[in-house]
Homo-oligomer: A and B are copies of this chain.
Amino acid sequence: MADRWFDYGFRVQPHHTDYGGVVWHGTYIQWMETARVECLRDMKFAFEDFVAAGYDLPVVDLQLRYHQPLMLGAAGLVRTQLDVGRGVKLKWLYEIYDTTQEKQQLCVTGHVVLVPIDMAKRRIARHLPADLQTMFDSLQQYFST
């Protein structure tokens, strides 16, 4: 079975923290979004082109478990992979690590589910134009092999 992950590294800046000196719990959602958009970009799927073509990919479900806090100045890593075989839905699994020390620490786990929407029809896009469909297919392929 495949176990491919896309990695996105970040650094905890002052604006990511709260009064506790650690990352505010809602901040992780930004890094998770960045990680999946950059994963798509890596596969020649530019999300801004998808939007320009009249589609969107809203999040319909989100779940997060917080195990350890990430502190100001920490080096962090988002690992994400597509959980393939869910039809039109895209379910991304996440693990977020503190990589400041040599021994990485798992800080947050979670997932996000997105659904492609045809913005003109305001409904789920079960059939995409050929070029966009090709991108979706290669995404599924990448994470299933």
Contacts and interface: CB of A to CB of B under 8 A. Distances in A.
Interface residues of A, number: 37
Contact of A18 (B17, B26, B34, B63): B17
B21 A15 contact: no
Contact of A66 (B21, B51, B61): B61
Interface string A66-90: 1001011100000000000000000
Interface stretch (A52-60, A91-99, A131-139): A52-60
A46 interface: yes
Interface of A: 11, 13-15, 17-21, 24-26, 29-30, 33-34, 37-38, 46-49, 51, 56, 58-66, 69, 71-73
